[in-house]
A = this chain, B = another copy of it.
Amino acid sequence: MALLDEDRLFPVEPRTRGLARDIYRTIRDLPIVSPHGHTDPAWFALNEPFPDPAELFVVPDHYVFRMLCSQGIPLTELGVPRVDGGTSERDPRRIWQLFADNFYLFRGTPSALWLNHAFQEVFGIDEPLGPQTATRIYDHIADCLARPQFRPRALFDRFNIEVIATTESALDPLEHHRTIRASGWGGRVITAYRPDAVIDPEFEGFAANVARLGEITGEDTTSWHGYLDAHRARRAFFKQHGATSTDHGTPSARTEDLSPTEAAGLFDKALAGRCTAEEADRFRGHMLTEMARMSLDDGLVMQIHPGAFRNHSPAVMTRHGRDKGFDVPTRTDYVRALKPLLDAVGHEPGLTIILFTLDETSYARELAPLAGAYPVLRLGPPWWFHDSAEGMRRFREMATETAGFYNTVGFNDDTRAFCSIPARHDVARRSDAAFLATLVATGRLGEGEAYEVARDLTYTLVKAAYRL
């Protein structure tokens, strides 16, 4: 029995479904271009086996463990590591059984689709995960993981990944990327510059981070100009390791374009730990504009990911730390928030800024009108909670009429779950095929155009937008 329906995510009406299927066939096997994500470069540098099924599918995947947590299963029982000194479950078989017992909770979610895709397509499993099949499936996956064909580099090749970007902190030495390059292996793994830790005055250890940035770069990061130069140096270093983009995660889309004097003053306060919340926010907002200006010089594409209320539960944060499924989207405004940045650089040739959102209400109201006018702006794909069939449909329905297809940039898998990468790209390809088939069937797009657009959305646009 197959875990996957051959025609999944296609429209139900037979003629439109047939068209979607035809479109999909032409893009199904295109290489994966993954310009934004959180895979671990150590996998590709060291090429060691993944340890066990629980470590592969449960323990690091916040989509999975937060859903189980929401039904009363403690994170500790799922093996999520503790930062408070307590212990978590260490037996991967017990974790796996608990996961399997509760796998029905994922019904109707993209996680179910991704997991089933990985089970079937990566591991050749053909029976549904559940209480009775847990052990058999565990054994099968564990058996696979011990084999060379399931090591990271082999999977990379099998997944047909043309290029994948990881995301590293500005302070990261990038040694794994160096190792990969030195290894002679042909896989293209690049980094992206993520400077939140040295840009956000409210980040843990901000002053120490900035000091460290100074040490690494040899710049005097106690001065505003030295600090900016250190960013420049670090960006250049990231570029040397393949980076074509920077990435910025901010609580809101607020930008500022302050005078050098004011910016320097805020920077001094931030280093001294004396910023108010408003001043910290103002400084973060200004740094987005500084980063955009540096992009004008070095050509790095800028990604802005605003709108997550991070670490909403102090209990989980204290016990388990960051990124444990308790980040919640918030209402995000772009029109006023981006104005200082756009006033400064909104019409600059050669600059690309890719906007993401966790607030779908902004697609039709704000993001499409902005991206449908300003030459520097592009719309990132549906992100995080919206990286799903329904999320992708709403994105295309709400953004296309005003921004068109050519102000979008293809798909991001944005994942740390390696085996979900083919699944996620497949969902995007199917969803785009479904949307395009519907446009054709309703007379809004020529059939020939649909095939061209399908290829553009899958392959051409992402390479152009990210300069890959």
Determine the distance from Cα of A258 to Cα of B6 in the docked complex, in whole angstroms.
Answer: 55
- B385 and A453 contacting across the interface, CB-CB below 8 Å: no
- B405 and A385 contacting across the interface, CB-CB below 8 Å: no
Determine the distance from Cα of A449 to Cα of B368 in the docked complex, in whole angstroms.
Answer: 37
Determine the distance from Cα of A104 to Cα of B110 in the docked complex, in whole angstroms.
Answer: 32
- B12 and A442 contacting across the interface, CB-CB below 8 Å: yes
Given A108-B444, A313-B347, A343-B314, A398–B407 Cβ distance below 8 Å? no
Inter-chain contacts of A406 with B (CB < 8 A): 71, 104-105, 107
Inter-chain contacts of A9 with B (CB < 8 A): 442-444
Determine the distance from Cα of A389 to Cα of B443 in the docked complex, in whole angstroms.
Answer: 11
- A365 and B373 contacting across the interface, CB-CB below 8 Å: no
- A108 and B358 contacting across the interface, CB-CB below 8 Å: no
A403 within 8 A of B: yes
A181 within 8 A of B: no
- B442 and A10 contacting across the interface, CB-CB below 8 Å: yes
- B385 and A402 contacting across the interface, CB-CB below 8 Å: yes
Tally of chain A residues near chain B (CB < 8 A): 93
* Chain A stretch 1-57: residues in CB contact (< 8 A) with chain B: 4-13, 15-16
A93 within 8 A of B: no
Inter-chain contacts of A12 with B (CB < 8 A): 11, 13, 15-16, 438, 441-442
- A4 and B443 contacting across the interface, CB-CB below 8 Å: yes
Chain B: minimal CB distance from A117 (Å): 11
Query: Interface code A446-459, partner B: CB below 8 Å = 1, 0 otherwise?
Result: 10010011000000
Determine the distance from Cα of A402 to Cα of B325 in the docked complex, in whole angstroms.
Answer: 11
Inter-chain contacts of A109 with B (CB < 8 A): 400-402, 404
Inter-chain contacts of A316 with B (CB < 8 A): 347
- A404 and B106 contacting across the interface, CB-CB below 8 Å: yes
Among residues of B, the one whose C-beta sits closest to the C-beta of A435 is B108
Inter-chain contacts of A386 with B (CB < 8 A): 364
A366 within 8 A of B: yes
A157 within 8 A of B: no
Inter-chain contacts of A388 with B (CB < 8 A): 401
* Chain A stretch 57-84: residues in CB contact (< 8 A) with chain B: 66-67, 69-72
Residue of B106, B107, B313, B444 near A389 (CB, 8 A) is B444
A203 within 8 A of B: no
- B108 and A372 contacting across the interface, CB-CB below 8 Å: no
- B7 and A443 contacting across the interface, CB-CB below 8 Å: yes
A113 within 8 A of B: yes
- B369 and A328 contacting across the interface, CB-CB below 8 Å: yes
A185 within 8 A of B: no
Chain B: minimal CB distance from A377 (Å): 7
- B442 and A328 contacting across the interface, CB-CB below 8 Å: no
Determine the distance from Cα of A377 to Cα of B328 in the docked complex, in whole angstroms.
Answer: 14
Chain B: minimal CB distance from A357 (Å): 10
* Chain A stretch 345-403: residues in CB contact (< 8 A) with chain B: 346-347, 349, 358-361, 364-366, 368-375, 377, 385-386, 388-391, 397-398, 400-403
Among residues of B, the one whose C-beta sits closest to the C-beta of A439 is B108
A242 within 8 A of B: no
Q: Which of A368, A374, A377 has the most CB of B within 10 A?
A: A374
Contacting chain B: which of A228-236, A283-291, A295-303, A334-342? Answer: A334-342
A-B contact pairs, 28 of them (CB 8 A): A7-B443, A9-B442, A9-B444, A10-B442, A11-B12, A12-B15, A12-B438, A12-B442, A13-B13, A67-B372, A67-B404, A71-B407, A106-B404, A107-B405, A108-B439, A108-B453, A109-B400, A109-B402, A309-B335, A312-B373, A313-B346, A329-B335, A329-B366, A329-B369, A330-B335, A364-B386, A385-B401, A390-B401
Which residues in A have some Cβ–Cβ distance to B below 8 Å?
Answer: 4-13, 15-16, 66-67, 69-72, 104-110, 112-113, 128, 309, 312-316, 325-331, 333, 335-336, 339, 342-343, 346-347, 349, 358-361, 364-366, 368-375, 377, 385-386, 388-391, 397-398, 400-407, 438-439, 441-446, 449, 452-453
Known contacts A8-B444, A67-B404; can you find 20 more A-B pairs with CB under 8 A?
A: A7-B442, A8-B443, A10-B442, A13-B13, A105-B404, A107-B404, A108-B404, A109-B404, A312-B335, A313-B342, A313-B374, A315-B347, A316-B347, A329-B335, A329-B365, A330-B366, A331-B333, A365-B385, A390-B401, A391-B401
